[in-house]
Amino acid sequence: MLAAQIMAVSIFLVMFVLIVMDKIERQWVTLGCGVLTLILVFGVGLHSMTAITETLNVKGIFTMEFWHISGQGEESGSGINWATIIFIAGMMIMVEGMAKAGFFRWLCMRLAKLVNYKPIPLFIAFMVMSAILSMFIDSITVILFLAAVTVELARLLKFDPVPMILSEVFCANLGGSATMCGDPPNIIIGTSMGYSFFDFLKNTGAIAGISLIVIIFYFYFVYRKELLKNEDEKIDPSTLPNPKEAITDKKYFIMSCIIFGCAVALLITHSMTGLTVAFIGTFIAILTLICFCRHIPELLKKVDYKTLLFFIGLFMVVGGLEQTGILEKIAGFIGDVSGGDVKLMVAIILWISAIASAFVDNIPFAATMIPVVKSLAATTGVHPDILAWTLSMGTDIGGSATPIGASANVVGTSVAAKNGHPIGWGKYCKTAAPATIIVVMISMIFIFVRYC
Amino acid sequence: MEKQMIISVGREYGSRGHIVAKRIAEKLNITLYDKNILKEIAQKNHADYSELEKFDEKPRNKLFSRRIGEFSSSMENEMANIQFEYLRAKAAKGESFVVVGRCADMALAGEKGLVTIFICADMEKRVARLMEDDKLSENEAKMTILRKDKKRKDYHDEYAEYEWGTADAYDLCLNIGDMDIEEAADFIISFANFKLKGIL
Q: Check CB contact of A303 with chain B, cutoff 8 Å.
A: no
CA distance linking residue B111 with residue B114, whole number of Å: 5
* Confidence (pLDDT) at A2: 79
Distance between A82 CA and the closest CA of chain B, angstroms = 22
In degrees, to the nearest 5, what angle opens at C-alpha B64 toward C-alphas B58 and B67? 85
Of A140, A404, A421, the CB nearest to B73: A404
Residue contact A424–B75, C-beta within 8 A: yes
Nearest CA-CA partner of B65 in A428, A242, A133? A428
Q: How many CB pairs under 8 A join A and B?
A: 72
* Confidence (pLDDT) at B200: 59
A76 neighbors A83 (Cβ within 8 angstroms): yes
φ/ψ of residue B33, rounded to 5: -110, 130
Distance of alpha carbon A114 from the chain centroid: 29
* Confidence (pLDDT) at A22: 75
Distance between A67 CA and the closest CA of chain B, angstroms = 31
* Confidence (pLDDT) at A134: 95
Nearest CA-CA partner of A224 in A434, A431, A413? A431
CA distances from A122 to A127, A129, A165, A227, A305 (A): 8, 10, 12, 10, 35
* Confidence (pLDDT) at A339: 84
Give tens-digit pLDDT for B103-153. 999 999 999 899 999 999 999 999 999 999 989 999 999 999 999 999 999
A243 neighbors A109 (Cβ within 8 angstroms): yes
Residue contact A417–B82, C-beta within 8 A: yes
Q: Any bridge partners for residue B71, and if so which?
A: B68
How much is the average pLDDT of B56-74?
Answer: 88
* Confidence (pLDDT) at A360: 82
Of B46, B65, B79, the CB nearest to A422: B79
Which residue in chain A is spatially nearest to B52 when comparing CA positions? A422
A189 neighbors A264 (Cβ within 8 angstroms): no
Q: Check CB contact of B71 with chain A, cutoff 8 Å.
A: yes
Residues in chain A with CB shorter than 8 Å from the CB of B42 are: 420
Give kind and range of the element (H or E) at residue A47. none
Burial of A271 (0-12, 13-18, 19+ CB in 10 A): middle
Residue contact A409–B73, C-beta within 8 A: yes
Residues in chain A with CB shorter than 8 Å from the CB of B49 are: none
Q: Check CB contact of A51 with chain B, cutoff 8 Å.
A: no
Mean pLDDT of chain B: 93
Q: Using DSSP bridges, classify how beta strands B97-100 and B6-11 pair: parallel, antiparallel or unpaired.
A: parallel
* Confidence (pLDDT) at B39: 95
* Confidence (pLDDT) at B69: 83
CA distances from A423 to A165, A334, A409, B180 (A): 10, 37, 10, 42
Q: Any bridge partners for residue B97, and if so which?
A: B6, B31
Q: Any bridge partners for residue A110, and if so which?
A: none
* Confidence (pLDDT) at A1: 66
> Does domain B6-197 correspond to CATH entry 3.30.365.10?
no
The CB density around residue A73, as the number of other CB atoms within 10 Å, is 18
Residue contact A306–B66, C-beta within 8 A: no
Residues in chain A with CB shorter than 8 Å from the CB of B84 are: none
φ/ψ of residue B97, rounded to 5: -160, 170
CA distance linking residue A183 with residue A87, whole number of Å: 12
Q: What is the mean pLDDT of each run of 10 residues along chain A (452 residues)?
A: 87 88 86 94 89 88 86 66 91 92 91 89 95 93 92 88 96 96 91 90 96 97 87 74 88 94 91 90 95 91 90 90 86 85 93 91 86 89 93 95 93 94 95 97 96 86
* Confidence (pLDDT) at A415: 95
Strand ranges in chain B using DSSP code E only, listed in sequence order: 6-11, 31-33, 67-68, 71-72, 97-100, 114-120, 172-175
* Confidence (pLDDT) at A171: 97
Residues in chain B with CB shorter than 8 Å from the CB of A403 are: 65-66, 73
Residue contact B47–A158, C-beta within 8 A: no
- ipTM beyond 0.90? no
CA distance linking residue B112 with residue B32, whole number of Å: 19
Q: Any bridge partners for residue B120, and if so which?
A: B175
Residue contact A421–B41, C-beta within 8 A: no
CA distance linking residue A409 with residue A169, whole number of Å: 6
Residues in chain A with CB shorter than 8 Å from the CB of B64 are: 404, 425
